[in-house]
Amino acid sequence: MRLLGPVSLVLTERRVAVVGANGSGKSTLARLLNGLVLPSSGRVLVDGLDTATDGPAVRRRVGFLLTDPGAQVVLPTPLEDVALSLRRHRLTAAARDARAREILARFGLADRADTPVHALSGGQRQLLALAGVLAVEPELLVCDEPTTLLDLRWRRHVDGLLASLPQRVVVVTHDLEAASRADRVLVVDEGRVVFDGAAAEGVAYYRDVVCAAPLPGEGGGVPGARTGP
């Protein structure tokens, strides 16, 4: 995981995509947004809350979806796993069970509520992880390469679902088609945000400048950072 250099950003758009090569620092940037990584200098604020001093309050506002649902889904069945996410709501066991079933139905998993998690497809497991994160109704959702392990059909399904959410979403992705539909794109390279602007221009910059640069050890580098309009 590459460390980030100095970054100054204010993210207000409903959909923000972060693109960059493996090891560029984009996952570090994502983890700064909910306090999984703390800045060595400066501050990260979420709705005025400092991730370093108000961590629990920040994490109540910011949901985080990992690449691998196996690292996020911890109980044997979907029903049990979503019910676990609801524990902070102080519901009765019956009310928690009913609410968990409602959430699973929303994600098309109603008939898989009692199915062993290991018997679900990769796409279904990612939907379950997303259901668990959204069960607590965060205001912001940060997704770290949520479709990398999925086939094309499931990738499109999860991308469409993320696009339909009422929450603000920041998604780290290698899927440039999905990134092109965002309201804003950040391109991260070698620990720096080298582009910040409109989606179409950001995707083109990543393709034409970052991806065209020599690989490490071959010399050269990104000709220069750019900020979009």
Share of the chain above pLDDT 70, in %: 92
pLDDT at residue 1, as a whole number: 41
CATH of domain 15-71+137-227: 3.40.50.300
Mean pLDDT in the chain?
91
Kindly compute the dihedral angle of the four CA atoms of residues 112, 113, 116, 119, in this order, to the nearest 10 degrees.
Answer: 20
Share of the chain above pLDDT 90, in %: 83
Burial of residue 43 (number of CB atoms within 10 Å: 0-12, 13-18, 19+): exposed
Confidence of residue 227 (pLDDT cuts 50, 70, 90): low
Domain spans, the chain: 15-71+137-227
Two structure tokens written together for 123 = 């796409």
Return all residues near 84 (Cβ < 8 A) that are at least 6 apart. Answer: 74, 75, 132
pLDDT at residue 213, as a whole number: 78
| pTM of the predicted structure, to 2 decimals | 0.89
Average pLDDT score over residue span 24-43: 93
Residue 80 above 80 pLDDT?
yes
The model's pLDDT over 84-109, given as tens digits with 9 standing for 90+, comes to 999 888 889 999 999 999 999 999 99
The model's pLDDT over 140-171, given as tens digits with 9 standing for 90+, comes to 999 999 999 999 999 999 999 999 999 999 99
The residue assigned the tokens 């100054």 is 8
Burial of residue 222 (number of CB atoms within 10 Å: 0-12, 13-18, 19+): middle
At residue 103, what is the residue type?
I
The model's pLDDT over 172-222, given as tens digits with 9 standing for 90+, comes to 999 999 999 999 999 999 899 999 999 999 999 999 988 887 766 665 555
